[in-house]
A and B are shown apart, each in its own frame.
Chain A
Amino acid sequence: MAVGAALAGIPIVSFVIGPARKRFEPQWISLGECAVFPEGTTRFATFVNPLRQPTNGESIKTACWVRCVKTGSEYQVFAINCAHLGCPVRWFEQSRLFLCPCHGGAYYEDGSRAAGPPPRGLFEYPWKVEAGRLLIDGARLPGLEDTA
């Protein structure tokens, strides 16, 4: 009986805890031509997450903020999620601040924490420029274990 239970239990447990064990290789996602992000601006960008599952629908779409410091060589790509509790932050061009609608977290244009409850600055996605396009490694929902 014990052997049988173990044999039946192994696939059941591995099925249930599967999502926590999966590891993901970086996947580079194109945000478009670098020209879309003029130097000195912070622009809204969206992409379709490559971790597509059959039933995702539009929830697979993801948003981020792209700050171009120097065209082609210096960018910051911020996750939309506030570092406090993950709500979507909004960029205000005039005051050069990101503000969060949930608990009032505020960030400066370089993503550093300005005010409010966030424990750190905005999460940043790794980026690179290839053939004139801006690519990011943005598949995973960012969390506090992320150092960038």
Chain B
Amino acid sequence: MRGVAQIIAWLESRSGIGAFVRPLLSHRVPASAKWWYVFGSATLMFFVIQVVTGVCLATVYAPSAAEAWESLRYIDSSVPSGWMIRALHGWSSNAMVVMMAVHMLQVFVHASYKYPRELNWISGVALLLVVLALAFTGQVMRWDQDAYWGLGIGASIVDRVPLVGSAMRDLLLGGPIIGGETLTRFFALHVFVLPGAAIALVGLHLALIMRHGISEMPRPDAPVVPSTYVREYEARMEREGVPFHPDASRRDLVFCGACLIALVALAAVYGPFGPGGRPDPTLIEANPRPDYPFMWIFGAVSLLPPSSETLVMLAAPAVIVAWLFLVPLLGSAGERAPSRRPGMVLAAALAVIAIASLTWEGITSPWSPVMDAWSALPTPEAMTRGRTPLELQGAVVFQYAQCRNCHALEGMGGQRGPELDAIATRMTSEQLTRQVQQGGGNMPAYGRNLSSAQMSALVAFLSTLKPQGEAPADIPGALLPLPHR
């Protein structure tokens, strides 16, 4: 026993590890922190899971465009626990992004970024960018159809940068096409550059937490005054603070444990993400969708008007990121309580609502045509009953000319254009003919694409689409306001 103690004493005297670790455990934290402060620890735990499972995957994964997809299938099917490691890596990646957002939201709402913790926040924003870059490059690692076309979307956005867009795109893709060097390039980013940056930033983030201490829960009428803050904080910690270990760390451990159990359950039940379809770009039945962390961007770019699209696509990320970096510098003193900062709380709430609803829009993608609606969906029976041969022929034209891909009948079909169940109450047959022929309002013109026989049959069918008993659009005195004929 004495020998062991001597070895430990020697190690301590030469390395100073104990002197480094002891303050990490014993530093005093505010007793008021309670359960609000567990999200950062959980984010870090997910990052550790990512490093461990990522190293595991790298021992088998082949970062070659010719073999990556097969090697993932091999990991899923033949490597012991391979599918589970992939599932953990995928789910933990999403969980890390979500937990990071929650952590950031808590810090933002409680204004913990104020003096003297401005750099804590700024290093956190840098971490956010690194983690999002890890998520995007990770999606590329799957090297399936979503990865391939997702790169195409990334390239098309970069391509819109004025003057240097084309060169930037080649730099991103590692050449003039999406190919082998694109994958190796993203692999180097995903396993060397970005994790290295993340580890360095996590180290800085933690060092700053040690330097400035954990912020207290905000109270109204207790503004941050830079000239006296540090002295008062240290005095209060001396008086009311509790040691990080075990008082606060036990909550971190309980929360992280619960997160870990939830992660394993999700991974075990839902399994790994993809790989989706083979990375063969001539299989054009692809329906590319990004991973969840980018779904809101996918939604946003579909809802922008084309005229302002490029500007918003390029300027919005720059403005948002710049604002995030500047938040603590623009308001480093003053009130921290949410009740005294209604504007900031509102901004946070709006951001959450916007991202959540854009994510939902992205998942449901109502603007996307349903590519097989025209051949796969039945014409609702009620719309065929008692119809003339011409009207029935129109129903056939409606399917045949892919109208159904964008227009739903009885809720089935594309959502890109309006549902047409009651179109005859809104438009007369003349208006219908004009709309189909000339298009407009985001509809292509079909004038050259349909024969006049097809056109009259189609309009005859559309003119029957109204709920029973309701007046058609062209009877004078119809209740609905009509555009002038």
The answer to whether A and B assemble together is yes
Interface residues of A (CB under 8 A from B): 17, 19-22, 24, 44, 46, 49, 51, 53-63, 80-81, 84-90, 92, 94-97, 99-104, 106, 108-109, 114-119, 139-141, 143-145
Contact A115 B175 (CB under 8 A): no
Task: Determine whether the beta carbon of A20 is less than 8 Å from that of B170.
Answer: yes
* Residues A104 and B416 in contact in the complex (CB < 8 Å), given A115-B443, A117-B304: yes
What are 16 A-B pairs with beta-carbon distances under 8 A?
A: A17-B171, A19-B174, A56-B66, A56-B179, A57-B68, A59-B279, A84-B156, A95-B444, A102-B298, A103-B301, A104-B369, A114-B439, A115-B443, A141-B155, A141-B177, A143-B159
Of the residues B167, B284, B368, B401, contact of A80 by C-beta under 8 Å: B284
A87 to B153, CA, bound (A): 7
Look across to chain B and name the residue whose beta carbon is closest to the beta carbon of A102: B288
Q: Lowest 7 CB-CB distances: which A-B pairs, in order? A: A57-B66, A55-B180, A86-B152, A114-B444, A86-B156, A20-B167, A88-B284
Interface residue range, chain B: 35 or more
**A53 to B310 CA separation, bound complex (whole angstroms):** 32
When the two chains form their complex, are residues A85 and B439 in contact, meaning their CB atoms are under 8 A apart?
no
Please report the C-alpha to C-alpha distance between residue A63 and residue B369 in the assembled complex, in whole angstroms: 21
Number of CB contacts from chain A to chain B under 8 A:
195
Q: Is the CB of A86 within 8 A of B439?
A: no
Q: How far is the CA of A106 from the CA of B367 in the complex (A)?
A: 12
Binding site for A on B (CB under 8 A): 64-69, 143, 148-149, 152-153, 155-157, 159-160, 165-171, 173-181, 183-184, 278-282, 284, 286-288, 298, 301-302, 304, 306, 309-310, 367-369, 371, 374, 400-403, 405-406, 416, 439, 442-446, 448-449
- Tell me, in angstroms, the Cα distance from A71 to B309 when the chains sit together: 39
Partner of A87, one of B168, B184, B288: B288
Chain B residues whose C-beta falls within 8 Å of the C-beta of A118 in the assembled complex: 306
* Overall SS of chain A's interface: loop
Q: Are A57 and B176 within 8 A (Cβ)? A: no
The answer to whether A55 touches B149, judged by C-beta atoms less than 8 angstroms apart, is no
Q: Inside 8 A of A62's CB, which chain B residues have their CB?
A: 177, 281-282
Given A19-B174, A86-B152, A118-B306: A51 touches B179 (CB 8 Å cut-off): yes
Cβ contact within 8 Å between B166 and A143: yes
Whether B179 pairs with A61 at a CB distance below 8 angstroms is no
Query: How far does the alpha carbon of A13 sit from the alpha carbon of B137 in the complex, in Å?
Result: 22
Q: Are B405 and A99 in contact (CB under 8 A)?
A: yes
Additional A-B contacts beyond A55-B184, A141-B173 (18; CB < 8 A): A22-B170, A56-B65, A56-B66, A57-B68, A59-B178, A85-B301, A87-B153, A96-B448, A97-B449, A101-B286, A103-B367, A103-B368, A104-B302, A114-B445, A115-B442, A117-B302, A143-B156, A144-B159
Which of chain B's residues has its CB closest to A21's CB? Answer: B167
Please, how many angstroms separate the alpha-carbon atoms of A54 and B175 in the complex? 13
| The residue from B153, B166, B310, B374 contacting A119, defined by CB atoms under 8 A apart | B310
**CB-CB < 8 A to B152: which residues of A?**
81, 85-87, 141
